[in-house]
Structure formats: C-alpha cells, structure tokens
A and B are shown apart, each in its own frame.
Chain A
C-alpha cells in the first residue's frame, strides 16, 4: 500500500515528465511547484546562510596554496606562484610511504569500523532488557569522549618499556620477553587500528543503532509470522534498510581518506622515529616538515591536495553508488 502511494507521488513530481508538457503549462506548473516548496526554502535558509558564512566565505583562503604569502601584501595581494607550494609533497623519497600508509590505514579503518559497529548495533538491537542496552551503549561510547592526547598517555601506560603494564605485568605472566614497542615498527599496523577501533566504535555504533531503531517494527513482525530466522531477518531486513546510512558514512569517509587523525599517528606513537615506516602519514609528514619553516602557503597546499584527492574519490564512489541506486547517492 505504502509502496503504491510512493510511486504515485514520484510520478507526479518527476521533473522529466514535466519536461514533456507544452511550454506554457510547464512554466505555470513550475511556478506552482515552486510555490509549494517555499516553506522548504525558508527552512533551508538559516542553515545554508550559516554554511555560507562559516565555510564558504573563508574559502578565499584556498588561494594561499598558490601564493607566496607575505604579511605586508595580505592574502589577496601576495604573488601567485602556481604549484610551487605543492612541490615538497612529491619531491621526497617518502612520498610513496606516506601515501601508502595514509590510504591503507584509512581504508582499513573504514572497513573495520563499519563492520564492527554494524555488528555491535545489531547485537544491541537484540537485547531485550532496556537497562543492559543503555549500559552497554554508555560503556562503548566512553573511549570516544577521551581526547587523543590522553589516549596517548594511556597507550604509553600500556606499552612503555620501563613502566608499561604490558611489559611489566602481562608479558612476564605469559612467559614472554619484554618488547620495545616504540622501537618496533612491525607491531604498529596492528596497534593503530585497534586503538582507532577502540576509540571510534562507540560513535559509529550509536549512528547505526539509531538507524536500526528507525526501522518500522512491522517488517520484523511480518517476517516472524512468515517463520524467518533471526539471521534471515538481519540479512533481509536490517542490513538492507540501514544500508543508506552505511553508504553515506562510507562515502563521507572516502572523502577524508587522504586526511588522517593527527593525534593517532603523531602523539600515540610518541613521534618515535623508528616507527616512521609504519606510522608516517601525509599529515604527520607535513607537520614535521613545516615545524621549522612555518610556511602557511605550503601547509595550505598540503590541505588542498588532500581535499582534492578525496573529492575526486568521492565523486567516483558516488557515481558508482548512483548507478546501483539513485536514492542512496549523495547527490
């Protein structure tokens, strides 16, 4: 029933159909449709205005990436230098390592976080006692509230050679030799995703859980009547119905795939040089390189480069999503 009504509505509002009407009618109809949407535009206005001021107005600053910034001349008056500020990102032997690390870690984070959080959200949804739902949810969210600097202290408390719990208590219990965690790059491709998962699983779980909460209960009731097992219900109802949220979250993460959590890659490994092979990412490289120079042109260039690559990747990903299901695409 609901389906047919939805179809009807789409039919009526489909702009492609309006196109076929004779011109006069089309214009009239356009005005009428537009009038109908005025309340929507009023709703949009304050939020868009804010974004315009907060995000679009300062975007003139993007030109800094292409300028030799000078205080006397100001941002707009400084000289154009083309792509000179970008050179340092590519003219280095580390370009491959930092790009590889950034992409691999972030790609892995996207998969790991999504899969685990969807799983946890589904399990939460199975719990019948409200008390336990709340308890689990609260606990899982706690790490998200802890700032990365503090996380780095906690990781240090666990991994430090001399005063860490792992080396002092746990490894001896297992009869293992202490390990210099901060000197051995090979452990970090495991340590970093674990920390990242620990910290962000609560955030993702909440989002997916509230998506599941939004699912109409009737579907499950009908499925149960039809004798569907839990597993089938999850596969056939829950996941398909929250997939728009999963897809959107993934698209947004892809857009930021060239950015990485600076605290996670800089503070948590204590900036230990021996770990650079597995912890150096674009953000940390840029930070270390510019600490002395303090060149805002080069810093902007790095940001611009990260954004533009993410942007292209999202456009591609969005195109693919669009091919499959128009509604799930971002735009």
Chain B
C-alpha cells in the first residue's frame, strides 16, 4: 500500500465514520425512546439515558402478535413477488431504451419520463383498478398499482446500462451468433449485478414501506401488510388530533391512543426486518467487475 493510498484510507474512514454517527444517532434515540418508561419521557423529556426503562410498548405490540405475524407474512410475500416481477419488467424495459440505436428509442424514453411528472391522480387510478381490473380487497392490490414499474427506476437502470455495458461486448456476442435475448441474459445481466441489486433494493424498500395501496384498495383487515397496521395506528392519531368533528365525539377512544413510546416501538418494528435483509443485497454490490475479462 502506498503512502497516498494509506492517507486516503484514513481520510475516508474518518469522514464516513462521522457521517455514520450523524445518521445513526437519531435512530438510537428512536430505539431508546421505545424502551423508555412513558412517564419518565413525559416528566423529564427525551433522553439518551432515560431514568427508567420499560417493556410496555413492546408488550402492547406483543398483545397483537397474531395480527402482526400475519401481516409480516403478507408483507414478505408482497415484497418478494413484487420486487421479482418489478425488477424483471424494469430491466427488460430499461435495456432496449439504453440502446442508442433503437428506433423510436427517444420516444419510448419520453413516455417513461412523462409518467414521472404527470399522473391522473388518485381518483382515476382507483377507478381503473377497481372498475376495470377489480383488484379491490385482493392481494394484487398491494402488488400491482403504482409500485410494479417505476419510471425513475427504469431511467436509472437505463443510464446504468448505457454507462457500464460497452457496445463492443454486445457486438462481439452478436458476432458469436447470440440472439438479443441470449445476449441480454448471459452477458448484460451478469455484468449488471450491482445495478440490479441497487434497483432491487430500492424496489424492496418501496414495497416494504408502502401503505398507500393498502389504505386505498383494502377494507378487509385480514390482508393488511405490516405497514398498513402500523400506519393505521399513526394516521389515526394524526387524524384525531387534527380533526375537531371527531375529536369532540370520540373522547373515549382518544384516551386509548398509543403514547409516544408505542409510536417509537411501532417504527422500530417496521424498520428492523428490512435492516436485517439488507446484507443480502450487499452481496451483489461488489467492487471490481472487470469488464475487460469478458472481452
């Protein structure tokens, strides 16, 4: 290792470590608050070193474990299925668009881009999905609308393809007699693992964190994903605290609204599994693909 490389190592470590601390401190506060005693927060304020700890918030969630476990199952199913299909469609769409020679290529790219700026709004989307496709109260309602193919991901992947797959590699494949599909599957995809992992991760996070679809298309609680349940609790609080019509009438119910610590625990329960799943994607985010070796 040269002196310069070593110096860069040090600089990088110091910078990244401080940024990591900046990123993780609020998260620590989230975890600590979720295991703090409610009364100590109310009386002494939030703290990294609360006077007393309590499991109450998690006990509250544990009481609803039946529903939560089911919801985790639904979330995992939706995330896996949605990400797989979505990733496949995105890659298939992005690859041809990345070809500079594709007839109408710019037009198709524009079509994709246009969806990022303009949308018909919630009402017509709901109309299309419920009246034409009838997906209300089905598991597909959590997978198909809005999330499956995202214009942003397509354009991002297109740029990645343009950037990392040299035409020469594809041309040599063509000379070898490989069809476009084979070239795509046996050359482009293996070369693009970091890209696929990145987009796959973004899709996974989108599916994992989504509660909009459930909110709009589901009235049957047995299909709720984990975020639907957690968000239902949070949006109920938001709604009741900002809406005097109901607040006046529902005094009794307001008193049962979850307290600060429960809200924090809810957030932790929603985030932890995806953090655990993260290393799976990182396996593919590996350095040092040498495209030269394919040549």
Residue numbers of A with Cβ under 8 A of B are 1-2, 5-6, 9-10, 13, 15, 33-34, 37, 39-41, 43-44, 46-48, 50-51, 53-62, 64, 75, 119-120, 123-128, 130, 132-147, 149-151, 153-154, 157-158, 160, 162-165, 168-169, 198, 201-203, 206-207, 209-211, 213-218, 229-230, 241-242, 244-245, 248-249, 252, 255-256, 267, 296, 299-300, 303-304, 307, 310-311, 314, 327, 330-331
Contacts and interface: CB of A to CB of B under 8 A. Distances in A.
A48 B93 contact: yes
Interface string B15-43: 11101101110110110010000000110
Contacts of A120: 15-16, 19
A165 B48 contact: yes
Given A40-B96, A136-B19, A330-B109, 20 more contacts: A13-B100, A39-B181, A46-B92, A48-B108, A54-B149, A123-B15, A123-B16, A132-B13, A134-B279, A135-B20, A157-B29, A160-B46, A163-B44, A163-B45, A168-B44, A216-B290, A217-B289, A267-B238, A331-B106, A331-B109
A300 B123 CA distance: 10
B124 A47 contact: no
Given A33-B103, A41-B96, A210-B198, A147 B267 contact: yes
A44 B108 contact: yes
Contacts of B121: 58, 61-62, 64, 296, 299-300, 303
B156 A245 contact: yes
Main secondary structure of the interface of B (DSSP, over half): helix
Contact of B102 (A40, A310, A314): A40
Contacts of A163: 41-42, 44-46
B179 interface: yes
How many interface residues does chain B have, given as a range? Answer: 35 or more
B278 interface: yes
Interface string B89-118: 110110111011111001111111101111
Interface stretch (B54-62, B164-172, B218-226): B164-172
Contacts of B201: 206
Per CB-CB distance, the 4 closest pairs between chain A and chain B, nearest first, are A47-B93, A61-B124, A61-B120, A163-B45
A198 B13 contact: no
Contacts of A9: 101, 167, 171
A218 B292 CA distance: 7
B124 A60 contact: yes
Nearest to B145: A54
Interface string B128-164: 1000000000000000111011011011100110111
Contact of B26 (A55, A154, A229, A307): A154
Given A126-B12, A252-B116, A327-B100, A6 B30 contact: no
Interface centre among A164, A168, A330 (most CB of B within 10 A): A330
B207 to A, nearest CB: 13
A327 B162 contact: yes
Contacts of B195: 210, 214
Contacts of A133: 287
Given A51-B151, A58-B121, A142 B24 contact: yes
